[in-house]
Copies of this chain bind each other. A is one copy, B any other.
């Protein structure tokens, strides 16, 4: 990797956020948290994985600043911290739709 160091760091910090977004379970979590602040136990039920797995996914999202945590008694409530996620989701949906269209066109429909 001979990329200029400054440039490399620039893209590395951005890729770290993108990596946090690059997992189906974390996308599901973000979708849920965008609708409403939710505790870990409810999120665990929603995802259907081990509670420790969900906690780790939440930690990944939190570490890059996408979500934040509020403690209430023994429970942790997570919420989305940025209002910019729609820009990301819209982009993904656009690409998906374009792929579907291209697929249909290739099939000659």
Stretch at the interface among A3-11, A34-42, A70-78: A3-11
Cβ–Cβ contact A24 & B15, under 8 A: yes
Residues 63 to 85 of chain A near chain B (Cβ within 8 Å): 64-66, 81-82, 84-85
Q: How many copies does the complex hold?
A: 2
Cβ–Cβ contact B19 & A22, under 8 A: yes
Instruction: Tell me which of B4, B81, B87 contacts A87 (CB under 8 A).
Output: B87
1/0 per position for A37-56, CB-CB distance to B under 8 A?
Answer: 00000000001110000000
Q: Identify whether the interface residues of A are mostly helix, strand, loop, or mixed.
A: helix
23 sample A-B contacts, Cβ–Cβ < 8 Å, listed by A number: A3-B49, A7-B28, A8-B24, A11-B31, A14-B92, A15-B21, A15-B22, A15-B27, A17-B95, A18-B22, A18-B23, A18-B27, A18-B92, A19-B22, A65-B102, A81-B98, A82-B94, A82-B95, A84-B90, A84-B91, A87-B87, A87-B88, A87-B91
Sort A-B residue pairs by CB-CB distance and give the 7 closest, nearest first: A2-B48, A87-B87, A11-B24, A18-B22, A84-B94, A84-B91, A22-B22
